[in-house]
Structure 1
């Protein structure tokens, strides 16, 4: 099971965490999303490899950005 991590910028509250988690969870193949508000780290477990572009699009849909 592939696991990838990202840093998301702009999250400031529990609602932010929930929004990011919800949008990433919609990606086909994603089995678990763990978001840490204090560090901005997002861990994504999936049954198949997920592209960085898919994650970036989901995070953008939630209103945030992947740190570059």
Structure 2
């Protein structure tokens, strides 16, 4: 499955996931850990262990350092 991911403030990236992927797998495909970002479907956060059920999501980074 293909999912368009808008990383808030950074742009849009499309990832390809297995059919049984969860939102934690989606974060990993983007290079983020479950501790540094959360996935929003619409305006609601979704649990990392929930199966991916949307083809468009927003990713909000919780930690950003430099």
Range of TM-score over shorter length: 0.3 to 0.5
The structure carrying a bigger helix percent of its residues is 1
Per the normalisation by structure 1, the TM-score is 0.32
Per the normalisation by structure 2, the TM-score is 0.33
